[in-house]
Structure formats: structure tokens, C-alpha cells
Structure 1
Amino acid sequence: MAKTRSPNFPVIDLGEAIADIAEILKKEKRGQFPKEAAATHLGYSSVNGRSLGKIAALRAYGLLEGRGDGLAVSSDAIAILEAPSESEDRREALRRVFETPPMFQRIQSEYADKPSYETLKWWLNKAGFNPDGAEKAASIYLASFDLVTENLGAYKRSPVEPVAEMHSPAARDIEENRIARKWSDTAQSIFGGGGAAKEELAVSVHERVLQSGMLSKQASYRLIVSGHVGEREIERLLKKLEMDKEILADPDPEPEGGDDFDDLAV
């Protein structure tokens, strides 16, 4: 019987990821390098399922950018490793990389403070993780949370941009229409296509459709959001789409026997 695969999640915690990217930076400096070199610096003799899982984790945190033969250590990774320990640049870079993995964002949206191990494990189980995957993912997230808390003090999510001028419904509608037009232009430059989506999906009471359109004759998109969406949120979304595009272009890692944790690779 096939094993249930857990949702994508970094295979290592943020502390281990920072230590790994430090080894890569030591060898490659700020230049570009192939994934084969990255695998070697991470202690592997070849590019395989385990090394690709670690490389994917570094990219999921935003510590590594690019793909294939064009990998590079990110500016956030360099700030974390080289900026003064108390500098705002280092603190903000550390906050950003902690908030980059999509599943980390979902957990942070659900729990403003640090959840208990048992609570988080149960939430992950409900989110689609198998029992073993939920245990490992909970440990990875909580270890990463502790690292950020130790370096930043009491962890708080990045503040939302002030929207005092957006209190009235009319003002919000005008702003969101402007953002939607910008998103439509940018999304089409990434995906191609245009027009209206053919298939309607259910939207909850707290959600709304910001934009929709066609990606091809067989595919369409529908951007469903909740809360305030401004320039900052759109820029973050575009960065995540570019990262997802790079990840999808990578070959799937070859599975290796004896370690279910590869199922959590991003």
C-alpha cells in the first residue's frame, strides 16, 4: 500500500539551514554555482534525494536563490551571517527567512504565539500530514521559532503596512481595484494568457476574489485573498510565485529507502 505523502515542508530547521548556507558561502562566496557543488558543500558525494531535499529547504527559507547551475547565496543569508549581531538588517533578514516557507506562514496565521508541540502536531495532522511527518514538522517549526525568539526577543510577525487612509469601504475598493489591475498585468507577464476563469470555486465569508484569468486553453487561475492586500503583499506574492516557478523547474528528487523524512521535502 502506498505511503501517504505529507505536504511540502523544509526537511531541516532554520538553525541547521543557516549553518548549511554558511558552509556554502565559505566555499562559493557571492558567486553562482551548480547544485552539484552545493551538494558537495553540504557533505554529499552526489546529487540525490537527500541532498536535493536540503537544497530545497535552503531555497524554501529564502537562503538560497536561483536553480540548476545558477544557484547563489541570497542577500538575506549574507545579512544573517555577516551583519553585526544586533543590527536591524540582520534582525529583519532573520524574520523574513522564518516567514518565507508557505507552511510556516499557515502556522503563523493560525497561532500568533508559540503553540505547544502536541497542539501543533495535531494541527499539522489535520492539515494533511501523516503522523510521522507531523511529528517531524512540528519539531522543525518549533526549533526554528525558538531560534528566532532567541535572536529577536518575543517574536512578532512583520507588521502590516499602515492603512489609516483606507478605512472607508469606497477607499478600500479603489485601492484594491488598483492593486488588482497591477496584479493582472504582472501575473500575465509571468503566466501568460488573459480573460476570465471558467470555473468558479467556493469563497468563504472572509475571502474575496482579487483577480482571475486564463493561463492557457486548459488552465486558469483565481486569486482568493483575505484581509488587506496592498503593494507589500503583492510584492511578496510575486516573489513566492517566482520561487515556486523555479522549484517546479527542478527535477524531482529520487526517493531513498529507510527515511520517511524525505516525504517532507519542499
Structure 2
Amino acid sequence: MAKSDEELTLRQRSPNFPYFGLDVVAAAAPKLYQKDRRAAIPREIAAKHLGYETLNGAGGRLLAALNQFGFVEDAGDRKVRVSLLGERLTHPKNDAERNEILREAVRRPKLFNAIITKYGIDGLPSAPTLKSELIREYGFNPTAADEFQRSLRRTIHALPVDSDVEADGDLELELETEPIPTTLPAKEPLHVGFNVKPQLPSNAQADFVLHAPLSARTSVALTVQGIIGKEEAERLSQWWRLIVEPTVNFWMEADMKKSEETSTQA
């Protein structure tokens, strides 16, 4: 039985691109360097240095992304080594040099360079428009087109704020920022009360919203879009400690001060 065009599209092999964004990859390169410096090591050991038991799945994809961004290089005989660029990333002279390394790395993946050169960092089209272009002009299947966009946009957000990634000509590129919606289409919020254990999604890659009622007049929602892995979970924990806790303490102190002033006036 002949396959439909849609079935053939879903099965076709898409172009290579870094599955992980520059934020994850730039954090992984120093881990390899700290273990073996620039010595050639088997790929399986490199994966273990990065926290993976095998090269299957995420371990192999992360090594491939390190290679595509130029932080590791093939050493032959199924071995890899940290590249000179990866060594510089691990021990930059200053923030300016680190930013320069990131600007160089973002151009290493061929298709990242092509899209950034065409649109600029602050000019990427909408997700549906770019997805259509990736499928029609670059031969992506729909799933891979979505993964490409996720990795590309994460890479852009990993660039320093003052980064000017030079395209062909004198096109200035700036950091792209996108507002995060308060709700996600086709996703029901998960309502969490203080005495109810949160019903977290079984799939760590699923978009979801955690909604916690604080009182009759106030609630808070946590919107998660994309993949939540170890790296993201650690950053969320850091963000909570650095941003949320001080903010909550500020609100509590302000409320206490207001209560004291009310008592004094009474």
C-alpha cells in the first residue's frame, strides 16, 4: 500500500542540528575539560562525565551538540577531545572573551547560521511561519522542525544581552525576548491547594501550568513551556532562591509594616 505524503514527511530524515541549545552545551563543555583537559577520551566515558550512563538518547545528543557548536572535536577511534574553543570557554580571560566565544559558537551549526543570517536574532518569524519554511526549504519533518526551533530559540536566549552577532553585511542582531503567556492553549491548569499534593505531568517534556490558590482573592501560576530536565530544574531552584524568596519576604515585611502603622494610628 502506498504511503501518503503526510506519512512520508513524518518518516523522512531531517538535517542535522544541535538538539540541545547553547545554554546547556556551554555548561557541559567545562565538565569534560575539568575531567580530562584536552586528552582524547572514548565517547562512552565522555557521556558518563556529562552524567549519562550510555550514548543512547540524550547522552549521544549532547555530545553531538558539543561537536556542532565547536566545543569538542573528533579524535578518531570513537574518541573525542575538548577543542581549543572549549578550552577557552572553560577559562576565558574575562566576560568579554566569553561573550566572543559564545558569538562564535552560535555560528558553528550550519542551519543556525543560515537562519540567523537571514532573519537576525531579533527578527525571527513566528513559530508556524518558521516551521513551514524549515519543512519546505530545508527538508525537515514536522517534529524535527519543532525541535530545531526550540533549540535555536534557546540558543538565542543564551547569548549575552549586548551580543551583536554579525551576519553577512552589517546587520546588527540583538537578544530576542518573548513574553511568556499566562496560560497555554489546549492545556488545562493543574490546581494545587495547600493540603493537596501537586499532580505533576508524567512527561517531563510536556507543557503545563501549576495553579496554586493563595487566598480567596489571590492565586499564583507557574507556566512551564518545553523541556524540564536536570539543568532546568537546578536553574528553577536557583531562580526561586534568588528571586521568589526575597520577593515573598518583601511582601511579608511590607504587610507587617502596614499592620504596625495601622495599629499605631488606632
Length-normalised TM-score, structure 2: 0.53
- 1:141: Cα distance to partner? 0.5
The answer on 1:40 being equivalent to 2:48 is yes
Structure 1 residue aligned with 2:22, among 14, 29, 39?
Answer: 14
Matches within 5 A, 1:61-80: 61-67=69-75, 68-80=77-89
User: What percent identity do the matched residue pairs reach?
Assistant: 28
Question: In 2, are the aligned partners of 1:117 and 1:138 still within 8 Å (CA)?
Answer: no
Alpha-carbon distance in 2 for matches of 1:18, 1:63: 8
1:104–1:141: 8 Å Cα contact kept in structure 2?
yes
Q: Kindly state the Cα deviation for residue 66 of structure 1 after the two structures are TM-superposed.
A: 2.1
Contact kept in structure 1, 2:20 and 2:151, CA below 8 Å: yes
Q: Distance in 1 between matches of 2:169 and 2:82?
A: 27
1:132 corresponds in structure 2 to 143
Aligned residue pairs, count: 159
The answer for unaligned runs of 5 or more in structure 2 is 1-6, 171-204, 206-266
What is the one-letter code of the residue matched to 1:37?
I
Moved more, 141-150 or 110-119: 110-119
> How much does 1:43 deviate?
2.1
Structure-2 residue corresponding to 1:120: 130
Which structure has more relative contact order (CA 8 Å, sep 6+)? It is: 1
Q: Deviations over 1:45-89 (max 9, x none)?
A: 2333543222111111101012345421112122222214423x3
Cα pair 1:36 1:46 within 8 Å, conserved: yes
Does residue 83 of the first structure (1) align with residue 92 of the second (2)? yes
1:95 alignment counterpart: 103
Runs of at least 4 residues off by over 4 Å: 158-161
Q: Take 1:101 and 1:59, find their aligned partners in 2: how far apart are those partners?
A: 9
Root-mean-square deviation (CA), in Å?
2.5
Contact 1:80 1:91 in 2 (8 A): no
Check 1:23–1:146 CA distance in 2 against 1; reply closer, same or farther (3 A cut).
same
Letter in 2 for 1:133: A
User: One-letter code of the match for 2:142?
Assistant: P
Residue 120 of structure 1: how far off its partner (Å): 2.7
- Is the CA contact 1:32–1:69 (under 8 Å) kept in the aligned structure 2? no
Q: Which residue of 2 aligns with 1:144?
A: 155
What is the correspondence of 1:194-233 to structure 2 with a 5 Å cutoff?
none
The 1:70–1:105 alpha-carbon spacing in structure 2 relative to 1, beyond 3 Å, is: same
SS at match of 1:71: strand
In 1: Cα distance, 2:71 partner to 2:26 partner: 8
Counterpart of 1:136 in structure 2: which amino acid? E
Amino acid at match of 2:89: I
1:249 counterpart residue number: none
Correspondence for 2:119: 111
For normalisation by structure 1, the TM-score amounts to: 0.53
Which residue does 2:33 correspond to in 1? Answer: 25
Work out whether residues 121 and 156 of structure 2, in 8 Å CA contact, stay in contact via their aligned partners in 1. Answer: no
Alpha carbons of structure 1 residues 158 and 42: separation in structure 2 relative to 1, 3 Å = same
- Deviation (angstroms), 1:140: 0.6
Structure 1: stretches of 5+ with no match in the other structure: 162-258, 260-266
Match of 2:135, as an amino acid? N
CA distance 1:159–1:76, change in 2 (3 Å): farther
Amino acid at match of 1:15: D
